[in-house]
Structure 1
């Protein structure tokens, strides 16, 4: 399902999704809910087990910003990133407006294609690729493609794309059902390039009211970021031009990880790769996880406490000279064990300069191979009077 050079037909995908719902299964995941305890017969003994998991609170789909970036907090545990191209003759504005209306119905639970599933904390976030942005304005944020970096093994169909649909939910069963509904709405106007599903680990408190999940390498991930409203205004949200204000820029990268080689390292060696304690997320320079590393701190004999090639040093915003990025990593099983990395920032250079700085000597990159890569302008939020994408393509 995740191969970049193969796309099953939309009809086949819908048939598979229907079968999954009928069986109550989702590939690679288990349900969080136990049997409810109700019986189909008055004389049958009730089923016993823990109470059903409460349905999480709904996340408003309408507003200045699209949901799925800073809301909900913390982010849901399951994600599907779907990347597609638009046909040459497709009218972008009407397609985006239709998708926005479909998202509103799905998140409200009124779309029959949900098959009766409660939407809970479902969010759907839509972005457009550089080709479409350039058609609207060559100087607009989001009009620039990502450059190529080292440690990439990317098939042509897994690089770039016109459309990003990010689907997130606490209930893993919702994700493919929602994807099927959106593909049904788009019809033959889009052609899927690649997709990747992933999941986040349980959140770990890191101090200052913040929590972050562990990644598949065992380390707490995504501690640093624009968390306050002031930081998000400065580094996350686009303030202009007016047609993109309230949006942001996303980078999506799929990476395979050399888990056996990383696992063969001692805990101390693994911590030197990251620059943080594996158990707590505390920087090797001390303090707390949320307070950040003291990059100048040294041992009595003059060695940096945070090694010169540690990830936390090479990727640190002050070392690179850029703003903060909101980073999320999702563990993946297919096509190989790894991570789906998603970052949001209001200047693409925040990402490109950081990765260029990491490319020189980041110890973590030696365990990664990037197999898919794209950047998108995450459109501003929408409401009933202002359809999704109307500012750019109305």
Structure 2
């Protein structure tokens, strides 16, 4: 077969490891021809292809980002007949099947294509770890490590200046990064989208901490966290991407201002933003991404279309693509209960 590979949505550490694994197993073992579509679904629609060979994927295991580029293009945007457009593009490129690597939006498109009979096998990807169907997504551990390292560094400057440090991490719907990085970094408060917070309660917790002799505090907040009163601390650009998502940002700024007003403690804000996506993937993510890539090309070779590679416990299995685009996988409340032992 001639199989097309694409990466969609936000970039993510480990994408290149997946591409490399698909090519090595697909070409060297199964004898298939692999071709890459540049810039996600946009490349599919435009026929923007590049050969994927043993040579072209050498030396990319440790590299962040994606050698194929990515975009948030939606083939079904507006009233478009995405299935017809993708089918035509695949015919022009001589491609028999697709392996899209992406999150809820990219795999949502893959699911619709699969339901219409297009031969697709998916690979789950998101640093937010909020995709259903898999216990862990590659890129998550790298993002947590980056955030934890940042919190460690902020601890020293917070202690030196007797300040409250508010650290904003990614997480639109789910607080996995905030919870894991907060626990690992010894945060004194963790605010996540799953549990609306009361600014007054957070301020009171910080005051109690300082009354016991602590001179600084670290607050970790997900970008999608919201106050109980709906006071609108999070800012949005008002613009939406091709899948209807607003760009979030700024909850830490408003939160920091409120905490300083309510406590009187000098407060500083750090928004980690896209630094969480960049750079070299951790060893864990390289291994997981490699396992996903091998499982995906094996599934394609066996004709197990409409499936997705997933981690269940310690085993990589195939699950229906529909499982990936079900409701988002939200933070386990038990993990937040562990974190709360160390608050205040």
Same fold (TM over 0.5): no
TM-score bracket for this pair, using the shorter chain length: under 0.3
Q: Give me the TM-score of the superposition, normalised by structure 2.
A: 0.26
Structure with greater helix percent: 2
